[in-house]
Structure 1
Amino acid sequence: MMRFDLVDLALFRHVVEAGSITHGAARANLALAAASTRIRAMETSLGAALLTRTRLGITPTPAGRALLAHARGLIAGIERMQGELSGFSDGTVGQIRVIANTNALTEFLPDALAAYLARNSGVSVAIDEHTSDEIVGLVAEGAADLGILSGTVDTGDLQTFPFRNDRFVLVAARGHPLAEREAVTFTEVLAHDLVGLDRTSALTRFLADKAVRVGRPMRLRVQLRGFDAVCRLVEARVGLGIVPEGMAHRVARGLDIRVVPLDEPWAARDLTLCLRDLGALPVFARDFVMHLRGGSSSEGR
């Protein structure tokens, strides 16, 4: 008879979402040896492999995908229960799982998140970064309670609400050939060296895909962890950068750089909140969505 406890199910979800047992164990706060033992015991109890193991990581087998769907449903149900019952205790209310693209994560979420958490001491928020295309599938699968992505992406049957508006722009050092242009295309930018975020960031992967589509390589000379550092190296003439417009204008006040509009339809970033069912979220998670929406009471589509 199969005997999986909640620790098993949570661990399995973390392992699949992280793509490795090592990283999944860390997310579940378990030692690697203990996590590996639990996964093997689950497979033995089921009588079938749950994971396919390769040098590049793990992927779920058909049995693993079925288990993952059930695990996500059960864990979500428990989190909803905790949220509904939170008013009867002084303990931790629960956790909200958010997946966001680079622009939302760096430019808009920090302030909104700080304001919400200041008023909700029992709530924690786990945030992962993905491209907008990836976010739709992950939210639909139940990997997150809420996604924040580009409004240009087809969200299918997910509920959506408007969030913020911004756009990506080019930043260039004073005197660079593109610095005084009224606007530039991405193809023109690709003729020069670039400074950007590391290759695992959603923005870098998004731009790399756009570069492939126009048939030009993206020459990243330096990869960094934040947009402020990108702009400082742009000022030092290491290369050009592509960053959110709001952040670019704030940083430009203290640096000798120029902000140039990108003449590309994808540069506009109308950000959207997406989720499976607002009414099915725990109370604290619904409150978080309403907080991000600015208290609007309009219905999502």
Structure 2
Amino acid sequence: MRNNFEFLDLKAFLAVLELSSFHAAAKLLNLSPPALSRRIKALEEAVGAQLIERTTRRVGPTQVGREMMPLMRRLVDEFEESILSISDLGGRHRAQVRLASVPTAAFYFLPRVVQAFHARYPEIRFRIMDLSANEGLDAVANGEVEFGINITGATRDDLMFTPLMEDPFVLACRRDHEFAARAALPWSALEGHPLIGVSKTSGNRAVLDRALATAAKRPDLNWFYEVNHLSTSLGLVEAGLGISVLPQLATPQREHPLIATVILQDPVVTRTIGLVERRGARLSPAAARFRDLLVNEWRGS
């Protein structure tokens, strides 16, 4: 029987229970499944008791494992916090913040928050995955990233959603289009015009379709072009192929020589952007500090 254990043994134990999966935990920790199993076995030998029960249907803690989880989580947190403190004093720290973000937020908002965080913690690296809404939810759920910036609410039992802002859908058209001079338009004004929209499988389209389906007067829209990426729709608008409906955050944030944006109303349709986290999981100290900065910067913007 071993008299001690390693830090990675604790990480392995917590990852397995937080993800309820040996496979997902091995992927998260960059370990092979056999290596992960050896880590768990080594910890159990050091403790002198079985900590994890594994059946064909579920993975969960034993009674001893459940009792030891808070202690092991505290040990891991205190160690990682001490490493961050050393980094603050000029030491070299190689922690990494892993997050997934819908592309519009990743492009227009995330850079300035990362820049502010980097000024405080220059040795902490980032892995930012710009994914669609559904892909981003999966990445958070399976532990590939620690948290995400997404547009979908808490529609899954294994995820938590913290709203940060409302992003309205607007019309984008060329400056020589008849709508360009208008400050606002009702959705009904778009009837008969060839529209450029994102795929029906996208999160943005789902938000839009749900809102318009419940409108007092549902507009009869002609979705003539369908694209996978919002940036592609702007390219088609520039070419004069049609007009596009897209979130305001995805439109040019400065004066554009070719594209104008117009407010859409009757009804006003918005998507909610927020943070997505695994229910019951704990962020690493580096990710927790970045999350706090992200919330403060976003709500103050």
TM-score, length of structure 1 as denominator length:
0.56
Tell me which of 258, 262, 265 is aligned to 1:263.
Answer: 265
How far did 1:79 drift? Answer: 7.8
Counterpart Cα distance in 2 of 1:156 and 1:191: 40
Deviations 1:76-120 (A, max 9, x none): 969857633413473434222323334423332222223222332
Q: Does structure 1 residue 244 correspond to structure 2 residue 241?
A: no
Pick from 194, 197, 215: which aligns with 2:196?
194
Q: What is the CA-CA distance between 1:191 and the residue it aligns to?
A: 5.1
Residues 16-39 of structure 1 show CA distances to partners (whole Å, capped at 9, x for unaligned) of xxxxxxxx8xx999xxxxx9xx67
Question: Which residue of structure 2 lines up, in the alignment, with residue 168 of structure 1?
Answer: 169
Is 1:83 paired with 2:88? no
- Structure 2 length as normaliser, TM-score? 0.56
Structure 2 SS opposite 1:105: helix
Deviation at 1:280, TM superposition (A): 3.2
Q: Could you tell which deviates more after superposition, 137-146 or 113-122?
A: 137-146
Instruction: Give the letter for the 1:99 counterpart.
Output: A
Specify whether residues 79 and 240 from structure 1 end up closer, same or farther in structure 2 by C-alpha distance, changes over 3 A only.
farther
Contiguous gaps of at least 5 residues in structure 2: 1-8, 37-54, 61-68
Q: Distance in 2 between matches of 1:233 and 1:117?
A: 37
SS at match of 1:243: strand
Kept in 1: contact 2:24–2:142 (CA 8 A):
no
Q: Report if aligned partners of 1:83, 1:283 keep a CA contact under 8 Å in 2.
A: yes
State the one-letter code of the partner of 1:185. Answer: W
Q: Structure 1: which 5+ runs fail to align?
A: 16-23, 30-34, 43-61, 68-72, 297-301
* 1:59-91 superposed Cα distances (whole Å, 9 cap, x missing partner): xxx959859xxxxx9xx9698576334134734
| Structure-2 change in CA distance of 1:110 and 1:244 (3 Å) | farther
Residue deviations 1:168-207, cap 9 Å, x none? 21101234455455324389469514266x8987546766
> 1:14-25 alignment to 2 at 5 Å?
none
TM-superposed CA distance for 1:290, in Å, is 1.4
Aligned to 2:224: 219
Q: Secondary structure at the match of 2:251?
A: helix
Report the alpha carbon displacement of residue 240 of structure 1 after superposing the two structures with TM. 2.1
Give RMSD over aligned pairs. Answer: 5.4
Aligned to 1:121: 122
Aligned to 1:97: 98
Length, aligned pairs only: 249
CA distance in 2, matches of 1:146, 1:190: 41
- Between 1:154-163 and 1:94-103, the stretch displaced more is 154-163
Rg (Cα) greater in structure: 2
The 1-side partners of 2:281 and 2:23 are apart by 27
Number of the residue aligned with 2:5: none
Find the partner of 1:234 among 222, 228, 237.
237
Corresponding letter in the other structure for 1:150: I
2:150 alignment partner AA: L
Correspondences of 1:277-296 after superposition (within 5 Å): 280-294=282-296
In 1, Cα distance between the equivalents of 2:270 and 2:29?
Answer: 37
- Amino acid paired to 2:127: A
- Give the 3 Å change call, closer, same or farther, for CA 248–120 of structure 1 in structure 2: same
Letter in 2 for 1:13: A
Q: Which amino acid aligns with 2:270?
A: A
Task: Return the alpha-carbon distance in structure 1 between the equivalents of residues 59 and 189 of structure 2.
Answer: 44
Query: C-alpha separation between the residues in 2 aligned to 1:190 and 1:218?
Result: 10
Could you say what secondary structure the match of 2:265 adopts? Answer: coil
For 2:117, give the aligned amino acid: Y
